[in-house]
Amino acid sequence: MARPTDDASPWQAIQRNPTFQTLVERRGRFATRLSLIMMALYFTFILLIAFAPGVLGMPLGSGTVITLGIPIGLGLIVVAIVLTGIYVRRANGEFDRLTAEILDDVKKQRTGGGHGD
């Protein structure tokens, strides 16, 4: 019986690889979580602007023109950078390791050193 990847292109072999399915699932779940965090913070900020502008317009102290909205807005930018850094760190670690495993598995299957031969 022929191996299933004999007539398949490399991308089809990758798609069938169980490690690829794990990678897609973990990466998608992680990206969704980070996106939801950022969206919740951003929409909270926008809702404050729309429905409670006085909160963001409060001065930080007496005699200053800097309002509470400035550090909160800058905080949102910092949070976006931090979340991006968290994603990149995980992508360069776990996700890259899984990708290397997938490519090694597919290369082994295509050269005859596959699993279950």
pLDDT digits (tens, 9 = 90+) for 20-67: 999 999 999 999 999 999 999 999 999 999 999 999 999 999 999 999
Average pLDDT over the chain reads: 89
Residue with tokens 């317009």: 57
Separation of alpha carbons 89 and 83, rounded Å: 10
Q: Which pLDDT score is estimated for 13? A: 84
Question: Under the phi-then-psi rule, with left for phi > 0, alpha for psi from -120 to 50, and beta for the rest, what region is 66?
Answer: beta
Q: Determine the length of the chain.
A: 117
Confidence of residue 74 (pLDDT cuts 50, 70, 90): very high
- Say if residue 103's pLDDT is above 80: yes
Pick the closest to residue 82 from 36, 34, 45 (CA basis).
34
- Say if residue 113's pLDDT is above 80: no
pTM reported for the whole predicted model: 0.77
Least confident span in 89-93, 99-103, 109-113:
109-113
Compute, in degrees rounded to 10, the torsion defined by CA atoms 33, 38, 41, 43: -110
| Higher-scoring residue by pLDDT: 102, 110 | 102
Separation of alpha carbons 24 and 75, rounded Å: 31
Q: Which pLDDT score is estimated for 5? A: 45
What type of residue is 109? Answer: Q
